[in-house]
Amino acid sequence: MRKSLANIYRLGIKELLSLRSDRVMLLLIVYVFSFAIYAVATGASTEVANAAVALVDEDRSPLSRRIQDALLQPYFQPPVRLTVAELDAAMDAGRYTFVMDIPPHFQADMSAGRQPAIQLNVDATAMSQAGTGASYLQHIIAQEILAFAQGREGDPQWPVNLVIRTQFNPNLKSSWFLAVMQLINNITLLAIILTGAALIREREHGTIEHLLVMPLRPAEIMLAKIWANGLVIVVAAVLSLYGVVQGWLGVPIAGSIPLFVAGTVIYLFSVTALGIFLATLTRSMPQFGLLAIPVFMVMNLLSGGTTPLDSMPELLQALMQLSPSTHFVSFAQAILYRDAGFAVVWPSFAAVAASGAVFFGVALLRFRRMVTLMQS
């Protein structure tokens, strides 16, 4: 047992030295855990900001001007006046995300107790703003109409007082969410790439044959690659969490970072084993990349980090419970966003550990078969 641990340790050191000499891979690690997180968090906003809006005012009344004046920055650009004849052409050209059409006699009809309709045309190809922006506009219009009907400024008195309390992200800043989720996704990406590339590099350089003539077992070679590359990812992720997410972007971390690191270590055991398994199915880095990218995309998009699991088909929800990325996203969000303790996240820890044991077993069988074929 002691000899086996020594072999795993020395092989892991060899992996770290080999990675140190690979400048392209080092540059990739630095980029993925620094600028890639910053660029996504600050550039891919999901809330309504600076949306282009136009107004067709056929009423030209104080109420219609009041609605126009309520469309303020930074949510909306200053409204552009259009005529009815220009509306369709403007929407077809994609110049505006929202075009509001206030009909003639709107204020008079409303004062007479009738129920006039405002037409809101939405460019739904701008999906990031269409749904949220439409609800913003509906709320603004309702507020202004009610305040005008009551004949006074200030907050209108609703029959029911709805109090909204936003937990964990009170200002609804998308950068807080995107920064952490990008870090989580990049951990998965690097775990697959680094371990798979390490095995492919051994085969391309011919050093795998040197290992096979040594008194080493396939499990020792695999474990060495797992702990060495996993260590690099954990260190890079922690530095990114403190330096980029908290320091550069100013995102508050509510929970225990050591608990998150412990869960990440368990997750890396699972995903690095998956990377080795994928590498045994290919013979070169291009082949590995073509196989790893779709696997990562599925794990990323269907893990619950991009869209909630509840919005997916039930069969897909059940299948994704077999993926370690689903449980990783679950406990990472619970810890970092909601300050969850071990008593809350231990089922996800256990699920990741179970999937890791399965992935490691399958990867070990495949690696042994590859070794046998190379020796014969």
pLDDT of residue 243: 93
Q: Is 367 exposed, middle or buried (0-12, 13-18, 19+ CB in 10 A)?
A: buried
Distance CA 365, CA 372 (A): 11
Q: Which amino acid is at 343?
A: A
pLDDT of residue 20: 86
pLDDT of residue 2: 81
pLDDT of residue 209: 65
Cα angle value 155/159/165 (rounded, 5°): 65
pLDDT of residue 235: 95
pLDDT of residue 244: 93
pLDDT of residue 326: 93
List the structure tokens of 285: 């880095």
The rounded radius of gyration (Å) of the Cα atoms in the chain is: 28
List the structure tokens of 135: 């609800």
Grouping H, G, I as helix, E, B as strand and the rest as coil, residue 346 is: helix
Q: What is the DSSP string of 102-161?
A: EPTTHHHHHHTT-----EEEE-TTSHHHHHHHHHHHHHHHHHHHHHHHHT--S----SS-
**Where, residue-wise, is CATH 3.40.1710.10 in the chain?**
53-150
Distance CA 328, CA 64 (A): 50
pLDDT < 70 stretches in the chain: 44-46, 151-161, 209, 211-213, 373-376
Q: Taking a C-beta distance cutoff of 8 angstroms, is the pair 119, 138 a contact?
A: no
Grouping H, G, I as helix, E, B as strand and the rest as coil, residue 224 is: helix
CATH assignment of 53-150, among 3.40.1710.10, 3.10.180.10, 1.10.3470.10, 3.40.47.10 = 3.40.1710.10
Q: Taking a C-beta distance cutoff of 8 angstroms, is the pair 341, 316 a contact?
A: no
pLDDT of residue 354: 94
Q: Which strands make up the sheet holding 98-102, listed edge to edge?
A: 80-81, 53-57, 98-102, 119-122
Three-state secondary structure string covering 42-79: HHCCCCCCCECEEEEECCCCHHHHHHHHCCCCCCECCC
pLDDT of residue 367: 83
List the structure tokens of 244: 């980029």
324 alpha carbon, distance to own chain's centre: 16
Q: Taking a C-beta distance cutoff of 8 angstroms, is the pair 76, 55 a contact?
A: no
Query: What's the predicted TM-score (pTM) here?
Result: 0.79
